[in-house]
């Protein structure tokens, strides 16, 4: 049975005996921790530490707080000298015989995890890497103690599959006190003590008022809570992230934005449709079709898009695809131009339907759907 312990080596003498690769690695790690490193070695290329270029002598360990024996030849002799003087010594040659061990270490921010595995360094490194990955991705939560100041982070959650969340997004979700989630944002598992507020907007149905969402973000942050505003796709692609940022700034609440994968590109890619392709198209335009052509509130120049050619990606187009197709054909886009519609993109319920501008009206669409128009929108 071993007793795990972390050491504060700042300003303390650490002796490294040996001059090879292991000695170099451990000497530099000790120096990074603030130790005053000294070296005893017959041969070495290390020049950044005080060096005695000779054979080891037992009295070398006198005054050291820690000794790292890395010779592969006289480590037992070094350890015996340390044992006699009650100085901790780590033997690189024999973990079983050593009185102390250098663990495999994972660091994320101010969290340090040390791993030993019965003297098996390969196993320890494998475990360390797994723990490090879990901390990086938020699978192991690193929730900090509250500092008293709340904050808001607008997080782009990607197209729907939780596996497409960014590493930064997962870290923030693991640290959140409150998650304010859009309807199309990924479903994520949260600790029981995290407040989850669903603020989804349903096309043609009930919708959470935008000003109410902004007030909610500000209120929870002013209570000293860490708020994650989890949105579908990317924060600033046809979302209202800018308004939420402005509301936080106006209230004096710290706010940041973490981008996510936009469904305009990620959903077609997941469905096997490249929005650009060498020799096929050199341009792509992304358009919100939440208002149909001819609507007085629409600012989209459909005639210009028809002349542009290339790939056209429509978001929020359910219920308006027929009108869009007719406007494009009327402006000169060929009626046989391929159309692909990806519904529930990246989810287990994803479906892909193909048509042309001439037959697009025959498609039965349900939200959420991403529409791709152009020569790339063909079955592969």
Cβ-based neighbours of 49, under 8 Å, separated by 6 or more: 16, 27, 31, 37, 38, 39
Q: Is the peptide bond before 368 cis (omega within 30 degrees of 0)?
A: yes
Residue reference for tokens 């507020």: 197
Active site residues: 182, 201
**H/E segment holding residue 258:** strand 255-258
Q: Of 277, 279, 273, which is closest to residue 380 (Cα–Cα)?
A: 273
d(CA 5, CA 182): 44
Cβ-based neighbours of 154, under 8 Å, separated by 6 or more: 229, 231, 235, 241, 244, 245, 255, 256, 257, 258
Q: Of 249, 199, 254, 208, which is closest to residue 229 (Cα–Cα)?
A: 199
d(CA 220, CA 224): 7
User: Residue 362 has what DSSP assignment?
Assistant: G
Do 55 and 65 contact (CB within 8 A), yes or no? no
d(CA 377, CA 336): 12
Taking each continuous run of H as one helix and of E as one strand, the counts in the chain are 9, 17
Q: Determine phi and psi for 347, rounding to 5 degrees.
A: -95, 170
Cβ-based neighbours of 21, under 8 Å, separated by 6 or more: none
**H/E segment holding residue 144:** none
Tell me the two tokens of residue 338. 């391929």
d(CA 139, CA 132): 10
- Collapse the DSSP code of 169 into the 3-class scheme (helix H, G, I; strand E, B; otherwise coil) and give the result: helix
d(CA 134, CA 138): 6
């Amino acid at each position: 049975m071993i007793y795990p312990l972390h050491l504060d080596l700042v300003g303390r003498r650490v002796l490294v005996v040996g001059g090879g690769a292991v000695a170099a690695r451990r000497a530099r790690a000790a120096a990074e921790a603030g130790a005053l490193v000294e070296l005893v070695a017959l041969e070495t290329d290390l020049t950044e530490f005080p060096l005695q270029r000779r054979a080891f002598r037992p009295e070398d360990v006198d005054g050291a707080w820690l000794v790292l024996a890395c010779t592969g030849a006289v480590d037992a002799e070094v350890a015996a000298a340390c044992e006699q003087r009650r100085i901790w010594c780590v033997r690189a040659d024999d973990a079983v015989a050593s009185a102390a061990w250098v663990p495999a270490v994972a660091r994320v921010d101010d969290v340090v995890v040390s791993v030993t595995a019965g003297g098996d360094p390969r196993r320890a490194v494998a475990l360390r890497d797994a723990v490090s990955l879990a901390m990086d991705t938020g699978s192991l939560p690193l929730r900090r103690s509250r500092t008293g100041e709340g904050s808001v982070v607008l997080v782009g959650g990607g197209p729907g599959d939780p596996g497409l969340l960014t590493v930064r997004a997962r870290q923030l979700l693991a640290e959140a006190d409150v998650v304010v989630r859009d309807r199309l944002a990924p479903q994520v598992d949260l600790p029981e003590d995290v407040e989850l507020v669903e603020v989804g907007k349903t096309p043609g149905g009930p919708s959470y008022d935008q000003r109410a969402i902004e007030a909610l973000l500000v209120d929870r942050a002013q209570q000293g809570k860490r708020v994650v505003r989890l949105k579908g796709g990317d924060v600033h692609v046809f979302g209202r992230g800018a308004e939420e940022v402005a509301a936080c700034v106006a209230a004096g609440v710290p706010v940041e934005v973490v981008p996510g994968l936009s469904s305009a590109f990620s959903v077609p890619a997941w469905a096997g449709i490249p929005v650009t392709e060498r020799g096929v198209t050199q341009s792509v335009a992304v358009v919100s079709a939440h208002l149909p052509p001819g609507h007085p509130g629409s600012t989209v120049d459909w005639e210009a898009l028809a002349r542009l050619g290339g790939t056209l990606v429509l978001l929020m187009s359910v219920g308006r695809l027929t009108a869009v197709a007719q406007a494009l054909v009327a402006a000169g886009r060929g009626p046989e131009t391929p159309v692909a519609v990806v519904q529930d993109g990246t989810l287990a319920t994803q479906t892909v339907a193909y048509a042309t501008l001439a037959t697009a009206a025959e498609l039965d669409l349900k939200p959420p759907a991403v529409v791709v128009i152009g020569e790339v929108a063909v079955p592969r």
